[in-house]
Amino acid sequence: MIKFHKFTVGVMGGGEDVSRETMQVAYRLGKLIAGEGWVLLCGGRAAGVMEASAQGAKDAGGLTVGILADRHKGSASKYIDIAIATGMGDGRNYINVLSSDIVVALPGRAGTISEIALALKSGKKVILLEFDTGDVFDCYRQDGLLVTAGTPEQVIRMIKEYCNIG
């Protein structure tokens, strides 16, 4: 039997009210993830950080996976290669983080915060990119599970270092 696993980076962030700057950062991050040959996993909708990061990855020839809250694949971004319809609403956030080898969180609201919390609770490393969560997760910072990056390029370096890649 052939065993296959491709490194998967979960990119989480806001779907609504996302600034132009955050969209540009998400797009750049998606391009860099694809440039490393990694899979980009996100919420899959045609909105906000999901759309921008998936577009960046696709523009760089990458593979994208979207974990959709809906029962139908019709809400998927056109930049998603593999759309997974869950019909789980916000419950799909758990699938997002458990299916990711590492999670990168950009600015968002309650959904993004829930993904960060679920990832940390599951022992997943989370990299915050231009997202200040205050001191609510300080115990995870002290444990080294939650770190902050200033640029998409720094995120890639941190992933390689933490996961002993390349």
Residue 79's pLDDT is 98
Residue 4's pLDDT is 58
Residue 3's pLDDT is 58
Q: How far apart are CA 115 and CA 121, in angstroms?
A: 10
Please give the DSSP secondary-structure letter assigned to residue 61.
Answer: T
Residue 2's pLDDT is 55
Residue 122's pLDDT is 96
Query: 3-class DSSP state for residue 82?
Result: strand
In a structure prediction context, what are the per-residue pLDDT tens digits for the chain, which is 166 residues long? 555 569 999 999 999 999 999 999 999 999 999 999 999 999 999 999 999 999 999 999 999 999 999 999 999 999 999 999 999 999 999 999 999 999 999 999 999 999 999 999 999 999 999 999 999 999 999 999 999 999 999 999 999 999 888 6
Residue 166's pLDDT is 67
Domains and CATH numbers, the chain: 8-163 (3.40.50.450)
Distances (CA, A) of 155 to 9, 22, 42, 87, 152: 11, 15, 16, 31, 5
Using a 10 angstrom Cβ sphere, with 0-12 exposed, 13-18 middle and 19 or more buried, the burial of residue 131 is buried
Please report where in the chains the tokens 């915060």 appear, as a residue. Answer: 113
Instruction: Say what the pTM is.
Output: 0.95
